[in-house]
Structure formats: structure tokens, C-alpha cells
Amino acid sequence: MDKDTIWQNFLNIIRSKLTSLPFDTWFKGTKLYELDNGIAKVIVPMHVHKKHLNDNYIDLIVETFNEVTGTNFEFQFILEEEINVKKKQISNNDNIGVPYNDPIQANLNTKYIFDNFIVGESNFFAHAAAVSVAENPGKAYNPLFIYGNSGLGKTHLMHAIGNYIVKNTNKKVLYVTSEKFVSDFLNLTKRDSNGTNYDYIEYFKDKYRNIDVLIIDDIQMLSGAPASQQEFFHTFNDLYDDNKQIIISSDRSPDDLKLLEERLVTRFNWGLKVNIYPPDYELRINILKKKMINRDLSKTITNDVLEYVANNFQADVRQLEGALTRIYAYATMFNVPKINLDVAIEALKDYLNKSLSLKNDIHRIQKTVAEFYKVRVDDLKSNRRTYEISYPRQVAMYLSRKLTDESFIKIGMEFGGKNHSTVIHACDKIERDIKCNKEIKNMIDNLIQQLK
Ligand code: ADP
Ligand code: MG
């Protein structure tokens, strides 16, 4: 077993031992970095994870890891940055002039590769573009801009490009989320006022400019961060002028990125834009079949189960995977040897209800928001523009986007036939408000709690 598989097996067991909130909070986003001399080094997302995992979960972790590996390991929790800094020191000292490129350095998830990305009609073009960029970085299409709803495989494709390049060339690749870019950039300005930031400026420049391929995920998150956008603009220009490959993803097309600087959007349109669509039935079935291969083969799963899942989880691939995981967890827990339709229906009962009640539930959101602000649902659907109406309307649109899988277009339709750009504007606005106003954030959190 390689370390990714070990960790995946470990996480699967942990997931079955915990409820989803602690699991999602403390274990999601962790990965096994290395096993060295009886010590398991695990990468965690934030500082708080180190302490919390040590204080609260260490026994469970050691015991579960023993179940998977048959050995007791000591655990060390580290941040990704700490490895990067360490590696950089090593490569600076020992390998001057030798390009370093490996998945960890590049921040790539080695699980996401082309081999396990299933192609169908809805993602055919995106996949083809990704492959050609992977084969000719900096030459085929620059930038490559991949957009579509959440859960459709954008991140998977971007990692696949990165992994391919790292494996087949000695180019330096960097994958970051836009949030990471913003936080790196904020560190830059923070230290600036102390006057002690020279090292960090160098580090930042080196990290973002001294590379051959920059992959930046969920660029829509740069909205509301004008200073970071400017920095990104310069980064983009530098890389682009040097024929370095830039790959960008977003939940909407460049033209709908209303809160980004125009000059950035213009550049996004220079290369190739590819839209990735929700999977059709055939693709859903093929993905399920592929994902099954990676699971417990001793449990057979009947075809009607696959059809049932494919029919009930249509919106995105993440949901499909979630359904399959649940079925297997259920079968393991109750020791079911053969997964038939009855088992699947039972296993997915709550999951399906939950996703059904969240999905398509714009009406419930409208009702809750209307009650909260003491307006009528009809007002939300009307064209009235007074603040007392328009603000709740924007909140309801934002929540509809956040809590359901509906597109901007569908949400617009549910609000009396508004244009999708009105919905985008509303979502952007509320997102900005949440970022800069604590009261509004609390209010929205409160509404989300009510809706859940
Ligand atoms: P996005 O970034 O668009 O929100 P992700 O790339 O995170 O979506 O995909 C969500 C999950 O679905 C991931 O686990 C990914 O591996 C899986 N997935 C999406 N599309 C495919 C596909 N075509 N083949 C295999 N797995 C897929
Ligand atoms: Mg993504």
C-alpha cells in the first residue's frame, strides 16, 4: 500500500467512527506526508488542528492507524508550509540550480490524475483542453480557464494537469486556491509594516514567480480582495510574458466575474475557456463503476443499485461519490455481503432526504428569509427596489446559491424571472458583506442554521 492508500483507508475507518461534523472539521484535508522511523508525519490544514488532534483524538488516531498498518506509530502534525520551507532549505543548500519539482512541493493531490478522470460528453472538451495543456505547458492554450458548477471535476482536472507535468518534465508547478493566494499576499502586507519582511517578500516572489506552471483554483474568491487582485495581475503578467502556463478555474465564466478587475477578466479571455457541464446518465454510471473498483471488492454491488444512485444524484460528481461511500460504509457496518437495491435504499435514506430537501429548495429559503425580514415571498420575486425588499432578496439569492445546487439561471427564474447576472451580483455583494461585517455574517449564519 502506498501512503495515500494507507491514509485513505485510515480516513474511511475514522469516518465510520465519528459523526460528520468532527470528521469534516478535523480530519478532512489531512494527508500522510511520510512514515519515517516509527513516526507518522501528517499534514494538517491549520495550526489549530495540531493541538486539537493531539489533545482530543490522539488515542483514536493511533489505534485506527494500527488497524490499517498493524503497527503503532507516533504522530507528528505539520503544516504544508513547514515542509515547503524545509524542502526549500534543502534544495537551496544541496541542489543549487537543480529544479525541484514534486507533488508535495507543488501542492498537488496525487490522487487526482487523468487515469481516474472519466470522460463523457459533458466534460469532453474540458478534458481534451486539459490534456493538451498538460502535454504542451505554456504552448497550447494560455491561460486555460475551466469553469462550471461545484462538484463537476474542475479541481480534479487541474491537479491532473499538474501531476502530469511534474511526472513528465522537470518544470516547477504550483497549485494554490485563490484563498491561499490571498492569505499569502496578506502576510506580505502585514509584515511590511514591521519593516522585517524582506525574507517573506523573497519567499512570496520565489513561490509565485519562479515557477513554470501556476494553477489557481476558484478564482471567483478573489472578488472583494482588490489588492490581491492587483498582485495577481502582476504575477499573471510576469508568468505570461515568460510563456509560463497559467491554469484558472472558476464557478462562472470570465464574463460573469463581475467583481474582478476588468483588465484581469480581459486576460482570462486571451486563452481558452472551457465549460464543464453536469454529467449525463451514462457518465454518471461510468464514474460509479470506476469509483467502485477502488473499494472493497469482496462486496458485490448489483446493477440496479448503480442505476438507482445515478438516477437520484444527478447534479454533481461529488454527490455521486458521497452516495457510494455511504453505501459501502453501511454495508461494512452491518456486515452485508451483497449490496442490493434494498440495502442501497436503506443506506441512502437520510442522505437522499437531506440532499433532496436542500436541493430545489429555493422556495423554503425564500419563505425563511421573508419571515426573518418580515417581508412577503412575493416581494422577493417582485421588481421592487427599495432597500427593505432588495436586501432580503439578495440574501435569499445568496442562500439559494450556497445551499442548493441550482444554477444562477435557475435561481433567477425562481425570483420572478431575474437575469442571471442579477443573481451573481447579489451573491457577490452578500459575500463581500459577510467578509467585512461581522453582524451580517452572524445574521447569515443564523439563517443557515434555521434552514438546516
Ligand atoms: P470541482 O472542483 O468542480 O468542485 P472536484 O474536482 O473537486 O470538483 O470533483 C469532486 C469530486 O468528484 C472529486 O472527488 C473528483 O475526483 C470527482 N470527479 C469529478 N468529475 C470526475 C470524473 N469525470 N471522473 C472521476 N471523478 C470525478
Ligand atoms: Mg474545486
Three-state secondary structure along 207-248?
Answer: HHHCCCEEEEECHHHHCCCHHHHHHHHHHHHHHHHCCCEEEE
Residue-level pLDDT at 96: 32
Q: Do residue 377 and residue 348 come from a single domain?
A: no
The count of structural domains within the chain is 4
Q: What is the dihedral of CA 351, 434, 450, 391, to 10 degrees?
A: -120
Instruction: Express each pLDDT in 402-432 by its tens digit.
Output: 888 778 888 888 898 888 889 999 999 999 9
Report percent pLDDT > 90 for the chain.
54
Which of 294-308, 351-365, 412-426 is most confident? Answer: 412-426
Domain that holds residue 288: 282-358
| Among candidate residues 299, 330, 358, the one where a domain is terminated | 358
Does pLDDT of 216 surpass 80? yes
The rounded distance, in Å, linking the Cα atoms of 73 and 62 is 7
C-alpha cell at 227: 489588492
Choose the final residue of a domain: 275, 294, 316: 275
| Average pLDDT over all residues of the chain | 87
Pick the closest to residue 343 from 366, 370, 294, 309 (CA basis).
Answer: 309
Residues 249 and 350 in one domain: no
Does residue 180 sit in the same domain as residue 263? yes
Regarding the beta carbon of 317 and ligand 1, being less than 6 Å apart is answered yes
Residue 108 lies in a domain: no
For atom 21 of ligand 1, the residue with the nearest CA is 153
Instruction: Specify whether 187 is located in the same domain as 260.
Output: yes
- Are residue 334 and residue 419 in the same domain, yes or no? no
Q: 94 CA to middle of ligand 1, Å? A: 38
Q: What ligand 1 atom has the least distance to the C-alpha of 112?
A: 16
Separation of CA 135 and ligand 1 centre (Å): 21
8-25 CB burial, b ≥16 within 10 A, e <16: bbbbbbbbeebeeeeeee
Could you tell me if residue 55 is inside a domain?
A: yes
127 burial (CB, 10 Å; 0-12 / 13-18 / 19+) is buried
> Does the CB atom of residue 318 touch ligand 1 within 6 A?
yes
Q: What distance in angstroms lies between residue 46's CA and the mean position of ligand 1's atoms? A: 24
Grid cell locating 179: 484563498
Q: Could you tell me if residue 102 is inside a domain?
A: no
125 inside domain: yes
Specify whether 156 is located in the same domain as 235.
yes
CATH number at 311 reads 1.10.8.60
Is the CB of 111 inside a 6 Å radius of any atom of ligand 1?
no
- Which atom from ligand 1 is nearest to the alpha carbon of 153? 6
141 pLDDT band (50/70/90 cuts)? Answer: very high
Among 152, 175, 282, the mutation site with the greatest number of ligand 1 atoms within 8 A of its Cβ is: 152
What are the phi and psi torsion angles at 44 (to 5°)?
A: -120, 155
Secondary structure class of 49 (helix, strand, coil): helix
Question: How much distance in Å is there from the Cα of 153 to the middle of ligand 1?
Answer: 3
Task: Single out the residue in 358, 383, 412 at which a domain terminates.
Answer: 358
Q: Kindly calculate the radius of gyration of the chain based on its CA atoms and give it in whole angstroms.
A: 23
For 200, residues 6+ apart whose C-beta sits below 8 A from its C-beta are 187, 188, 191
Which tops the pLDDT comparison, 192 or 126? Answer: 126
In a 3-state reduction of DSSP, which class is residue 42? Answer: strand
225 assigned to some structural domain: yes
Where do we find the cell 487541474? 158
Do 129 and 219 sit in the same domain of this protein? yes
Percent of the chain with pLDDT over 70: 92
Query: Rounded to the nearest whole angstrom, what is the distance from the C-alpha of residue 294 to the centroid of ligand 1?
Result: 15
Q: Is 66 close to ligand 1, i.e. is its CB under 6 Å away?
A: no
User: Does the residue 105 lie in any domain?
Assistant: no
DSSP state of 102: -
Whole-structure pTM value: 0.65
The bound ligand whose nearest atom lies closest to the alpha carbon of 157 is 1
